[in-house]
Amino acid sequence: MGITRVVAIVLTWTSATAPPAVERQTMLHEADAIWRAHGVAIVGLTPEQTMAPPTADLRLVVTLDCTPRRPAPGRSERLGAIPFDHENVPATTLTIQVGAVEAMIARTRWGGRPFDQWPPAWRDTLVGRALGRVLAHEIGHYLLASRVHAHDGLMRAWFDGDELLRPGRGGFAVAARDLPRLQSRLAGLGHGSALAENAR
């Protein structure tokens, strides 16, 4: 599918220093790869770029909450969030809980190794992949203008560590039943428009 819409992402973070560059770049690459299958390109901006480029249809601000979390077996923790107002209109700001994602994948063995034994470069790439899938999910809540979770695909309510890390993206497409809503929403997202204004 050709690209019909461009979403510009501004990344900010809660820590004094930015998460590793490889992690951030891989996160954006993964979210872009997932959404390109649906005609949406994800591009990264720096925090200093207060305005999206003219080619972008939408600008979202993503805060990476780097607060450390401890791995807790069997515990379900929110990995990301996007607020909705009382009229069910999504905000253009969302949060990814980096610490919660890391705590989840810390319980996952990859290549036969536990998280704390992964080579640093390998770790940054895999953490970035997991963060990108969580980011793609939260972008989905915005683009679908819906808090509702699907039974399968990208908009499932829950992913385990293995799903967030595995190479294939087969389980990260928008479910077929949600595609008409997505296409309708994207059709209303023109250059310079605010999709949230048409979210009702």
pLDDT in tens, 72-90: 665 568 999 999 999 999 9
The alpha carbon torsion through 11, 176, 87, 32 (nearest 10 deg) reads 10
Q: What is the CATH number of the domain that holds 43?
A: 3.40.390.10
Specify if 178 maps to a domain: yes
Domain count within the chain: 1
Range of the domain at 140: 5-188
Do the domain assignments include residue 111?
Answer: yes
Does residue 198 sit within a domain?
Answer: no
3-class DSSP assignment, residue 184: helix
Mean pLDDT over the full length of the chain: 88
Q: What pTM value is reported for the model?
A: 0.90
Question: Is residue 99's pLDDT more than 60?
Answer: yes
Question: Mapping DSSP to helix (H, G, I), strand (E, B) and coil, where does residue 33 land?
Answer: helix
